[in-house]
Amino acid sequence: GQEAVFLAAGSAIQDHDTYVPYYRDHPAFLLRGMPIHQLLWYWAGDIRGASFQHKPQDLPINVPIASQVPHATGLAFANKQKGSRNVIIVTLGDGATSKGDCYEAMNMAAIHRLPLVFFINNNQVSWLKHYRLIFSGGKMYYLNRFINLDIFRNVYIGSFT
């Protein structure tokens, strides 16, 4: 179930949009055209696995918790400045929402109303805070549009546009 929710994230965007993943997004990579051998190369430590030639606008696998969120915000800011209508989707787990990187990036996206979708998988095992503290009151931080999809787990999707 954990990895299956990211099929929705990968299929929700167009081919020209940008996918900013974290390390649990294997099905979305495959859905977006990554050859399975390249994914296996990545996890085997082979540098060829870090080349995202199938979708050059997508960012590679991100393992450090929450560090992909500022990258996604920066990409969305650049797209907005260029007048691009492309959307950025960033995926993260509930543990990432407890990190300063995530707070700061969400704040920046809210202030500038960036074309950025936060796809948050709440598997209710955040190691920093209990999920009820993170996802309280039906909204998360600065998100003004908020959807809770209950697909085996709680998935929270929010955007600022």
Residues 98, 125 contacting (CB under 8 angstroms): no
Q: Per-residue confidence at 125, pLDDT binned at 50, 70, 90? A: low
List alpha helices for 4-91, DSSP H. Answer: 5-11, 26-31, 36-43, 68-82
pLDDT of residue 132: 45
Integer Cα distance of 155 and 93 in angstroms: 9
Return the SS3 of 158.
Answer: strand
pLDDT of residue 136: 43
pLDDT tens string 62-95:
888 899 999 999 999 999 999 999 999 998 887 7
Please report how the helices 68-82 and 100-112 are oriented relative to each other, as an axis angle in degrees rounded to 10. 20
